[in-house]
């Protein structure tokens, strides 16, 4: 008899969300996690639960994103109760600022397209400078306007990951902190091996971020991925001045301010660069001049997990029934859907047609 119903490979936000969801459904689950040596997107995440701007030209992704955002209130409360950790989730709506007439025109067009493709399910407002000043009087003279959506929110991503680990283990899940070396399949059972462990299960979910591409062929999958660096700056603590999350600036509960972000093709380099940090700080100060007087106390780079078209990859193996792959670059936003919906799909043993758009087969259609 197998050791587990499901083994999840990967203990970041995506893997732990799915694993927690499986345990809450009564599936005996283990997670193999590389631990602190992992190139983990979660530790560098900005913490947004973000809807606006996602899925333009891809209604399926927009729908999946909105679905997860709607689940977040229920999910956040449940996770907090189960773990005893306040993950600082709030849904106050969010802003994306435009610093030129061209940016405002482009954003207006994007939001209009997203609303049209959602057939009325996407709520937003375009605000000119006058209207924006009524809500955020601290904006600088460079700001021409903004988009606002009440669907957006934010959370502490480090506490989210910690809460997932605690809640998963409290449900009875096993966390095995070692890198997976091999996965084999025989007589409808998967064997997952590391240096110290050899564990078996009837299902395997590959959610190892950038490590998934290397392991995918063992499951008859490919999961093409590449890293994209984003840099984040953190200011000293200051008095509350920003009650909303925004796409580039977010004040945390302890008063520090996160500034982002960048999109860099630098391979697996998780460092920082003075030029990019300067650009991030300059744009942030153009939006809120108040920030000019604050000191930067920390900065870091982290790697997003990107597919060739930027959309998530969800698939199941035809060669090895019971093997699934799940990867995305919006692990925080999609955490609720992964725990409450995707885990149910794994339990049923079949991904629904609504996720067909995200199959890795889309990259190999001739």
- Per-residue pLDDT tens over the stretch 14-54: 999 999 999 999 999 999 998 766 556 666 688 999 999 99
Pick from 254, 253, 262, 255: nearest CA to 284: 262
Domain(s) of CATH 3.50.50.60: residues in the chain: 4-82+157-224+310-364
What string of DSSP letters covers 49-84?
A: E--TTTTTT-HHHHHHHHHHHHHHHHHHHHHHHHH-
Exposure string (b/e) for 8-47, b if CB count within 10 Å is 16 or more?
bbbbbbbbbbbbbbbbbbebbbbbbbbeeebbbbbbbbbb
What is the Cα–Cα distance from 231 to 299, expressed in whole angstroms? 7
Question: Two tokens at 292?
Answer: 């000019």
Per-10-residue mean pLDDT of the chain, 366 residues long, equals 97 97 98 76 82 95 97 97 97 97 98 92 96 97 98 96 97 96 97 97 97 96 95 96 96 95 91 95 98 96 94 97 96 98 98 95 81
The reported pLDDT for the residue numbered 42 is 63
Cα 26-32-37 angle, rounded to 5 deg: 145
The reported pLDDT for the residue numbered 365 is 67
Residues constituting the chain: 366
Q: Is residue 94 within 8 Å of residue 149, measured between CB atoms?
A: yes
Residue 257 backbone phi and psi in degrees, to 5: -120, 125
Correct CATH for 4-82+157-224+310-364 of 3.30.420.40, 3.40.50.1370, 3.40.50.300, 3.50.50.60 = 3.50.50.60
The reported pLDDT for the residue numbered 39 is 59
The reported pLDDT for the residue numbered 34 is 86
| Residue matched to tokens 């399910």 | 121
What is the Cα–Cα distance from 102 to 115, expressed in whole angstroms? 20
Pick from 143, 296, 330, 349: nearest CA to 228: 330
Pick from 123, 107, 106: nearest CA to 115: 123
Pick from 32, 39, 64: nearest CA to 51: 64
H or E element in which residue 113 lies: helix 101-117
The reported pLDDT for the residue numbered 40 is 61
Q: What is the CA radius of gyration of the chain?
A: 21
Kindly report, residue by residue over 242-267, the tens digit of the pLDDT: 999 999 999 999 999 999 989 999 99
Question: 226-306 has which CATH code?
Answer: 3.30.9.10
Domain(s) of CATH 3.30.9.10: residues in the chain: 226-306
């Amino acid at each position: 008899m197998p050791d587990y119903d499901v083994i999840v490979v990967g203990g970041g936000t995506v893997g732990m969300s799915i694993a927690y969801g499986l345990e809450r459904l009564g599936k005996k689950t283990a997670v193999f996690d590389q631990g602190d040596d992992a190139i983990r997107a979660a530790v560098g995440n900005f913490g947004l639960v973000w809807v606006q701007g996602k899925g333009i030209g891809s209604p399926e992704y927009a729908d999946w994103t909105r679905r997860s955002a709607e689940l977040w209130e229920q999910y956040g409360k449940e996770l907090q109760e189960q773990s005893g950790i306040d993950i600082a989730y709030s849904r106050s709506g969010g802003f994306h600022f435009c610093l030129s007439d061209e940016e405002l025109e482009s954003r207006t067009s994007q939001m209009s397209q997203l609303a049209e493709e959602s057939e009325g399910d996407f709520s937003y407002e375009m605000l000119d400078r006058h209207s924006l000043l009524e809500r955020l009087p601290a904006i600088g003279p460079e700001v021409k306007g903004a988009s606002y959506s009440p669907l957006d929110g934010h959370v502490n991503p480090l506490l989210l990951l910690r809460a997932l680990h605690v809640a998963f283990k409290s449900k009875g899940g096993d966390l095995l902190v070692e890198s997976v070396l091999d996965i084999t399949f025989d007589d409808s059972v998967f064997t997952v091996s590391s240096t110290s462990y050899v564990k078996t299960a009837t299902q395997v979910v590959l959610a190892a971020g950038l490590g998934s591409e290397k392991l995918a062929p063992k499951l008859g999958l490919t999961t093409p991925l590449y890293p994209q660096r984003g840099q984040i700056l953190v200011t000293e603590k200051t008095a509350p001045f920003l009650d909303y999350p925004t796409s580039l600036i977010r004040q945390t509960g302890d008063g520090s301010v996160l500034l982002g972000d960048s999109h860099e093709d630098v391979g697996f380099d998780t460092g920082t660069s003075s030029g990019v940090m300067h650009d991030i700080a300059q744009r942030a100060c153009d939006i809120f001049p108040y920030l000019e007087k604050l000191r930067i106390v920390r900065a870091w780079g982290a790697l997003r997990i990107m597919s060739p078209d930027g959309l998530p990859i969800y698939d199941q193996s035809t060669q090895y029934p019971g093997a699934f792959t799940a990867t995305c670059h919006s692990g925080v936003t999609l955490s609720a859907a992964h725990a409450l919906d995707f885990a149910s799909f794994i339990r049923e043993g079949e991904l629904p047609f609504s996720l067909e758009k995200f199959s890795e087969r889309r990259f190999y259609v001739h």
